[in-house]
Structure 1
Amino acid sequence: MKELFEYILRFGNLNQQQIDFMSSKAVEIELSKDEYFSEAGKIASQVGFIVEGILRVCYYNNKGEEITKYFIEENNLVVDLESFDNEICSSSYVQAITDCKLIVFSRKDWLELLQTIVGWEVIVHKIISRALIQKVERRSPLVSEDATTRYLKFMEIYPNVVNRIPLSYIASYLGVTQSSLSRIRKNIR
C-alpha cells in the first residue's frame, strides 16, 4: 500500500484520514502470468495500481493478429479509461505478462473516492495527463524509425521491461516479426 500512496502524493496532497479512507476501499490482488486485468468486449470495472509485475495492452487487428499497444510496469495505474469512464465495452485486453501484484479499486469505490475526497479529482486528472503524455512520448519516436532504431528506443523507454517479457510481445509492439527482432538483437550485441 505504501507504494500506492508514494505514487499518489507525487501529484497532490492527502491527509491521513483521506489515506485511511482510500486504504479501506483498496483490495490487493494477484494476477498470474497471462491472466487478464480487463478484456475486450467487456466493460472495464476496476482501476489498479501495479505493485509488482508488467501488464500489456493489446488488441487483435482485422487479420486476427495480436498487436501490443504498450506496456505498463510497476508503480503505475492501470485502467482501460475509455471503457471505465463511459461504461462501454473495451476494444483492448489488459493482460499480465509476468506474475503481478496489484492494488485494485472497484468502479463503485473509485467513484466514491471521487465524490468524497476533496482534491482527488485534480490528482487523478494530473495522473491521467502524465500517463497520456508518457504514452505519446513513448509511441511517437517509434512511428517513423527503422526497426533497429525502434528497438534501441524501446530499450531506452522500457529499460526495466526488456529482459522480463517474451520477445514475441516486443516484436508485436515494434511492428516486426520475431525473427526480424532476433536478427536486430544479434546485430546490436
Structure 2
Amino acid sequence: MRKVEIALKNVLSEDRIEEFLSVGTLIKIKKGEHYIREGEIPKKLGFVLSGLFRYVYINQEGKEYTKGLVQENTFLTSYSAMITETSSYFFVEALEDAELFTISYEKWKRLLDSDNYWYKFLVSFVEKGFITKEKRERDLLLLNAETRYRDFLQNYPEIENRISQTIIASYLGIQPESLSRIRKKMGT
C-alpha cells in the first residue's frame, strides 16, 4: 500500500489518505485485459497507479475507436454507466501491465456521503475530465489530422513510445496509413 500512499500524496491531503485507503484494494491488470467490458454494468472505479489504459468502442465489424487515454494518477471507470446502473458502451482496456487502487461504487458512495470533502474531491476530477473531453471534441471537429497529432505529442509526450501507432491513429480519428504519412512528413 506504500505505493498507493505515495501516488495519493499528489491528489489528497495527508489526513485523508488513510480514509481513502480504507475503502479499496490494490489490484494488478495485465496488458490487453479489460477493467470494464462493453455491456457490463460497472460497479467499481479505479485510481491508476502505474500503467496506461484506453477507453475504446468496438463496432460490429470489429473496428476500434479510441475514446480516451488514461495515465497514472487518474481515476478510471465508465462513470455515467456506473451512476445510472446501465451497461457501459465501451471497454476500458489496459495498454500496459498496470496497478490500480480499485473501489466498489457502493463504498465510494458511502465515502461521498460521509463528508463534503469527498464531493469536492470528486468535482475536481469531474471538472478535469470535462475539460479534457471538451477539448478533444473541439479538436476532432475543428483541427486537421496533422495539428491533432502535434497536439497529441505535446499533451502526451511519453505515450507515443508506449502504445502502437494503430492506437494513436484511432485516438486521432484517422487511419494508420494517414498517421504514417504525417509522421514521414514531420520526420518522426
* TM-score normalised by length of structure 1: 0.89
Structure 1 residue ranges, 4+ long, deviating more than 3 angstroms after superposition: 61-64
* TM-score normalised by length of structure 2: 0.90
- 1:19 Cα deviation from its structure 2 partner: 2.9
Matched, 1:6 2:9: yes
Which consecutive residues of structure 2, in runs of 5 or more, have no partner in the other structure?
A: none
Which consecutive residues of structure 1, in runs of 5 or more, have no partner in the other structure?
A: none
Q: Look up the match of 2:78.
A: 80
1:3 and 1:51 in contact (8 A); partners too: no
Matched, 1:115 2:88: no
Matched, 1:164 2:162: yes
- 1:4 Cα deviation from its structure 2 partner: 4.2
Q: Look up the match of 1:25.
A: 23
- 1:138 Cα deviation from its structure 2 partner: 3.6
> Aligned AA for 1:148?
E
Indicate the SS of the match to 2:38: coil
2:53 and 2:96 in contact (8 A); partners too: yes
Indicate the SS of the match to 2:181: helix
Matched, 1:174 2:172: yes
Indicate the SS of the match to 1:51: strand
> Aligned AA for 1:24?
S
2:140 and 2:173 in contact (8 A); partners too: no
Equivalent pairs, count:
184
Indicate the SS of the match to 2:9: helix
